[in-house]
Amino acid sequence: MKTNTEKFGVTPHQPSLWTRADALKVRADDPTTTQPLVRADFPVLSDDVFIWDTMPLRDLDGNVTSVDGWSVIFTLTADRHPNDPQYLDEDGNYDILRDWNDRHGRAKMYYWFSRTGKNWELGGRVMAEGVSPTAREWAGTPILLNDRGEVDLYYTAVTPGATIVKVRGRVVTTEHGVSMVGFEKVKPLFEADGNMYQTEAQNAFWGFRDPWPFRDPNDGKLYMLFEGNVAGERGSHKVGEAEIGDVPPGYEDVGNSRFQTACVGIAVARDADGDDWEMLPPLLTAVGVNDQTERPHFVFQDGKYYLFTISHTFTYGDGVTGPDGVYGFVADSLFGPYVPLNGSGLVLGNPSSQPFQTYSHYVMPNGLVTSFIDSVPTDETGTQIRVGGTEAPTVGMKIKGQQTFVVAEYDYGYIPPMLDVTLK
Ligand code: FRU
């Protein structure tokens, strides 16, 4: 019997491993891999909504694309409730932190537009209420398909379950702004299978989300990255020699790190339109290291595959740690082997004095890294914080061989286009 990988003309591959030894090399506060401090007096995009994961409109090759001179971003978005009795504390003050922490349950896809690649104007919801089949519209990718303005929005339909879906619509521009039309029929694509990717039945804390479709610059085929966990019942995973790596004496104890089972998944399309997909084994696994490798994405540069993914301090396993931020791996071919960038994988982490200042970093092919502000301390002790729910300053980064370097900082939410498409 032919394996899936043989059927689709894709080379069978072994997942690359992010090992505990690699993670031991993580150094928080290294200035070349640390995001500059975000000031507590940041501006907010909107007083009405929180935004977090930011998804620039792009083409299938990864280029951030404007249309008729308009830049467009999609964001996970939730209403702010400053006057809702549910979010008032005992003293009658707005408990913004609780409101912010509840946002995932009511996440919706919104879009914004701009002439300058910053100072975003709110466009509105992408799908009308009732179009998306589940309660939560979680992260994904908007793809501009052609100069007729057709857009495929891949995203994750969550609760109940977690299904990778897509919905097709169209971007329309005028001299005054941008609108999204259509986006009326959501097509389910696939769910975790329990053989390669962990299901909810195997682990109530499973992750299966964040589709990132792309055209492979070498074979020209349509693929998709996504976040997953390695299949198997929770607690059944083995953290063996391969997962531990080459550690110094005294570092063999893995504690309870068998509960950390993140992976970067990949699927290949059976058709040109990306309506029919086949999951392949993960590209990268982090068993024994970390439980979440979220929003995986590529930068194709110098003939190499730079794989980026975001992760948290709290999702690391026993005995290893690192800051919230974006981690990266590089390979000479799509299916690896992948080597952690900067030795450890850490590419851009929060400074230890402001561990939650930003998250959900997205590395664009021009080296700019966008993220959102989560919370920033407003006093010395860090007990008082200001909640963000808005765009962070963009960071400029250089990618060279197996290393990355922070080299610049730009305005809040600066996401300039790499190419412009004139709509017919
Ligand atoms: C990253 C993330 C995504 C998910 C979304 C849910 O910030 O956890 O993986 O799609 O946020 O709000």
How would DSSP label each residue in 124-147?
EESS-TTTSSSSEEEEEEEEE-ST
Strand order in the sheet with 49-56: 49-56, 71-79, 108-114, 121-125
Kindly give the distance from the C-alpha atom of residue 138 to the centroid of ligand 1, in angstroms, as a whole number.
6
Structure tokens at 247: 């550690």
Say what the pTM is.
0.97
Selection from 27, 22, 13, 11 nearest residue 242 by Cα: 22
Query: Could you give the C-alpha distances from 16 to 245, 275, 336, 407, 418, in angstroms and in order?
Result: 12, 28, 7, 29, 31
d(CA 207, CA 159): 12
Residue with tokens 């891949």: 154
Give the percent of the chain with pLDDT over 70.
97
φ, ψ of residue 253 in degrees (nearest 5): -70, 120
Is 380 among the catalytic positions?
Answer: no
Ligand 1 atom closest to the Cα of residue 156 is 10
CATH number assigned to the domain covering 4-244+261-421 = 2.115.10.20
| Band of pLDDT at residue 289, cut at 50, 70 and 90 | very high
The residue from 294, 324, 374, 391 that is catalytic is 294
Collapsing DSSP to helix, strand or coil, 388 comes out as strand
d(CA 277, CA 99): 37
Q: Provide residues with CB under 6 Å of ligand 1.
A: 52-53, 76, 104, 107, 138-139, 156, 209-210, 227, 294-295, 359-360
Give the tens place of pLDDT for each residue, 102-133.
999 999 999 999 999 999 999 999 999 999 99
The conformational region for residue 245 under phi > 0 = left, psi -120 to 50 = alpha, else beta, is left
CB 341 within 8 A of CB 347: yes
| Band of pLDDT at residue 8, cut at 50, 70 and 90 | low
Is a pLDDT exceeding 80 seen at residue 7? no
Per-residue confidence (pLDDT) for residue 1, from 0 to 100: 42
| Band of pLDDT at residue 383, cut at 50, 70 and 90 | confident
Ligand 1 atom closest to the Cα of residue 210 is 10
Kindly give the distance from the C-alpha atom of residue 270 to the centroid of ligand 1, in angstroms, as a whole number.
27
Kindly give the distance from the C-alpha atom of residue 264 to the centroid of ligand 1, in angstroms, as a whole number.
14
